[in-house]
Amino acid sequence: MVQLDFGGVKENVITRKEITVEQARKILKNEVVATLGYGIQGRAQSLNMRDNGIKVISVKKKAAFMLLITT
């Protein structure tokens, strides 16, 4: 785990060294990940999770619609 500083806010971030993509798939296989009010990379990250077998619901804050991305 590494600690990253996001504009003065320190966050603990788990890396692929601690949890591989396969382990994440196993952990999240019965879960749905929600991406809410995302910025410029949110859609791409949601699609990446979907492409890796994770169920995703993505909602853009300023949009009048909900983008539903599922497998």
Domain ranges of the chain: 1-29, 31-71
Residue 50 neighbours by CB under 8 Å, 6+ apart = 56, 69, 70, 71
Q: Per-residue pLDDT tens for 16-70?
A: 899 998 998 899 989 999 888 777 888 898 999 899 889 998 887 665 555 555 5
What pLDDT shows up at residue 67?
A: 57
